[in-house]
Structure 1
Amino acid sequence: MTRSTAIRHACDYFDSGAFRADLERRVAMPTESQDPEGHGRLRGYLEAELLPAVERLGATARIVDNPVPGGGPFLLAERREGDGLPTVLMYGHADVVPGDAEHWRPGLEPWRLVVEGDRWYGRGAADNKGQHTINLAALEHVARARGGRLGFNLKVLVETGEEIGSPGLRALCAERRAELAADLLIASDGPRVRADRPTLFLGSRGGVNFTLRVALREGAHHSGNWGGLLRNPATVLAAALATLVDGRGRILVPGLRPPEIPPSVRRALADLPVGGGADDPDIDEDWGEPGLTPAERLIGWNTLEVLSLSAGNPDVPVGAIPGTATAHCQLRFVVGTDAAGAGQALRDHLDAHGFPMVAVEVGRVMAATRTDPDEPWVRWAAESVERTWGGRPAIMPNLGGTIPNDAFAEELGLCTVWLPHSYPACAQHAPDEHLLAPLAREALQIMAGLFWDLGEPRD
């Protein structure tokens, strides 16, 4: 009954081929949440793979319907060992993005695990089947090493709609707040900062998509006969965009800018590496908010991105003034930003700059969350990872991207600690998605050590 025994069991699970076999079965199940006819496959994955896995942990488990009509099912499980013990809620998601089989390179396919050296290819291998397989296995090996005990209370929540915006997740947490109450969320999704640097992230930037549309007239008109007489919607839209974000990426709308970066966040970001991997693009040092480091621009600040622009026929341009122009945009934002007021802030700003003809259409807002890096549970988790790995993990106050962490941080009021088991070049959401085998083996050790430490007596 030692920590090293639990870690050794986790390594044996990987080295024996059992982890690969589990992942191979799970990747073979096409759990695409975007398919409206796919609820049966999503439920089948929970029933065939995850129910048995959590029941082996001694948990009472069931599948529950989504409180939102049309949403996919959830798996809920609980193992209670006693009053006075810490309670952890573990989260994962069973769904994947579309397979996109025709764009995988020859020899690879989304629903078959293909091993090429250290890379294990397959849809969901990195996002999220490989990651929740690691965590469930680590729990099992800790219980084995402890003679059937974990040393803490465990709750598990697995959803089947993360890749389509987690419909019903927050509503489920609200309805079952007492049932899901815990001291801490531990979950795994997304990438580490680098393949060779274990990482903790504590929340995510939020996101809101919006569309700017200039619709001035039906059809297009000859540019020679009407040029100089008709307002060009593409020109108007380009000028309007230039008032929102400047030519170096700095946000110009006061209502879309964040508050100052808190000191604890700055300290956490001080040694955080960004980019530099073999497959990473080169960072533009003069892009974004001036005076910030790359890590601060990515993790601690807001960005406004133009995702697409259209007017006329981009592939076959003709000598005509288009009647309409459209820009699809996105604001990624940190805690403290008034995201609910983004639409009004855009409207007021465009009106003040002479663009009342630019319509603003705001989509769904996903909230930003951030656990304070100085929170005791964060320090505990970092110390546990360091004890196993032998070095200090990277600590990100929040991801640059967006995950449904608000359901746990806001609805359940939990300290949220995420330990990702993938890396930036894993092709998550893209063709040729893969898991790095050495990283997975290391992650099994880290999670076995973490769950062992959670079950140790504390003052």
Structure 2
Amino acid sequence: MTRQAAIARAESHFDSGAFKADLARLVAMPTESQNPDRSGVLDAYVEKEMKPRLESLGFTCRMLAHPKAKGPFLHAERIEDPLLPTILGYGHGDVIRGLDKDWSEGLSPWVLTEANGRWYGRGVVDNKGQHAINIAALRAVLETRGMLGFNVKYLIEMGEEMGSPGLRELCMERKDLLKADLLIASDGPRLSAERPTIFLGARGVLNFDLTIDAREGGHHSGNWGGLLSDPAIQLAHAIGTITSPTGQIRIPEWVPKELPASVRQALADCEVDGGPEGPVIDRDWGEPGLTPAEQVFGWCSFDVLAMKAGNPDTPVNAVPPRAWARCQLRFVVGIDPDDIIPALRRHLDHHGFPMVRVTPGEDEIFHATRLDPDDAWVAWTVASLTKTTGKKPALLPNLGGSLPNDIFSDVLGLRTIWVPHSYPGCSQHAPNEHLPMSLAREGLALMAGLYWDLGENGTPPLERS
């Protein structure tokens, strides 16, 4: 009954092929939350796979629902002693659309396929594989020790790929049911495939449209060019005031006043590397004086996701009547999300672009969150992962992307610690989504060691009201 025995049990679960078989069943379920025809599959994922799996570990399960949600929620809990630490685990069983026809020959989004040391299939990293790893690691600890030595609550949702509708409201209404001491969950990528990673929150994200409607229709550019304003030119100049030609944001309210020392220190040894299949970083892009890691994990970024004027497929000789752009700001802690759009409006008016209409996107805004890198639980987690692998984990103050972490940190008031089991080149949300098998095996070992340490003396103190 040792830590190493629990880790060995988790690794044996992988080596025997049992974990692969479990994951294959999950991947075979086409849980596309954006597809209305899949509602029955969303229900089946939690009812037929997650619920029995957790009940076999001594969890009490119940189904939860909310009118705003696109799918069901599964709540599970195993309480060994109210005086012990209670962690909240989280995962989502829904996936982005399969894009079946776009996968490489011999691959399918709904069949777990092994090739070149990788497992291919929709959801192997986002997020079925990640919460499957964590639940399997819980089993390894429980079967080794005979108990966990801590309490666990688990929340599985089926609408994350739709923006987690209803999750915020559910957590606000059921705080008593979800009360815990900290969140330990897995999503997103590591900094690199080789290096275990911890991140403590997420950047926020807000999408919005910029539109100029100049007139009802187009007019011949020979007869009217030079007499009529061109919305495409106006919109291009308006966007050009938002950043410098090298991407430095020029709206003061959109960037932090400074990079906190604890964030800079945590990122000092972090190198952004997408691997041999990743893009080459443009070193002269973004905020001057920041490292690539500081740009992605400590600063804000603005991007134009799409633009349109006239008919791009079949251009005609006409001054376009309308121009449109879908834009996005990813932002860190310290930016007031309620002032992002007003600040943009003030900026555009100041620069002479009152004709540009700003429309916030329909997607729910994800707020920026970040647990202090100096928190004692962060150091404890780093020590646990280091003990298991002998590798120093990368410590990211927050994920560069966005996820509903603010619901856990702000609504439920939890410390949030994420240990991802993916890597930047995993093709998440794209055809050929895959998980390196070595990363899955190491993830099982890391989580078994982490859960074992949770049940031992020596965890940081918890402040409870």
TM-score by length of 1: 0.98
Counterpart for residue 320 of structure 1: 318
Counterpart for residue 412 of structure 2: 412
Counterpart for residue 33 of structure 1: 33
RMSD of Structure 2 on Structure 1 (CA): 1.0
One-letter amino acid matched to 2:98: G
Alignment of 1:296-311 (within 5 A): 296-311=294-309
Counterpart for residue 421 of structure 2: 421
Counterpart for residue 129 of structure 1: 128
Q: Return the offset for 1:219.
A: 1.3
Alignment of 1:5-84 (within 5 A): 5-65=5-65, 67-84=66-83
Alignment of 1:42-441 (within 5 A): 42-65=42-65, 67-147=66-146, 149-275=147-273, 277-363=275-361, 364-441=364-441
Q: Return the offset for 1:70.
A: 4.8
Paired with 2:68 and 2:412, the residues of 1 have a C-alpha distance of 22
Q: Secondary structure at the match of 2:130?
A: helix
CA contact (8 A) 1:63 1:73 kept: yes
The count of corresponding residues between Structure 1 and Structure 2 is: 457
One-letter amino acid matched to 1:97: I
CA contact (8 A) 1:259 1:337 kept: no
CA contact (8 A) 1:191 1:421 kept: yes
Q: Secondary structure at the match of 2:312?
A: coil
Q: Deviations over 1:329-382 (max 9, x none)?
A: 000000110111111111111111111100000124210100011111111111
Q: Return the offset for 1:37.
A: 3.2
Q: Deviations over 1:231-268 (max 9, x none)?
A: 00001001100111111001111222223111111100
Counting aligned pairs with the same residue, the percent is 58
Structure 1 unaligned regions, length at least 5: none
Paired with 1:278 and 1:286, the residues of 2 have a C-alpha distance of 21
Paired with 1:435 and 1:35, the residues of 2 have a C-alpha distance of 24
Q: Deviations over 1:98-147 (max 9, x none)?
A: 00001001111110111113111110111111111100000001000002
CA contact (8 A) 1:208 1:365 kept: yes
CA contact (8 A) 1:191 1:420 kept: yes
CA contact (8 A) 2:69 2:164 kept: no
Structure 2 unaligned regions, length at least 5: 460-465
Q: Secondary structure at the match of 1:244?
A: coil
One-letter amino acid matched to 1:13: H
CA contact (8 A) 1:68 1:167 kept: no
Poorly superposed stretches of 4+, deviation over 6 Å? none
Q: For the structure 1 residues 298 and 355, does the alpha-carbon distance in structure 2 shift closer, same or farther, using more than 3 Å as the test?
A: same
CA contact (8 A) 2:274 2:425 kept: no
CA contact (8 A) 2:88 2:153 kept: yes
Q: Secondary structure at the match of 1:346?
A: helix
One-letter amino acid matched to 2:181: D
TM-score by length of 2: 0.97
Q: Return the offset for 1:39.
A: 2.1
CA contact (8 A) 2:69 2:159 kept: no
CA contact (8 A) 1:256 1:339 kept: no
Q: Secondary structure at the match of 1:307?
A: strand
Q: Return the offset for 1:9.
A: 0.6
One-letter amino acid matched to 1:273: E
Paired with 2:56 and 2:77, the residues of 1 have a C-alpha distance of 12
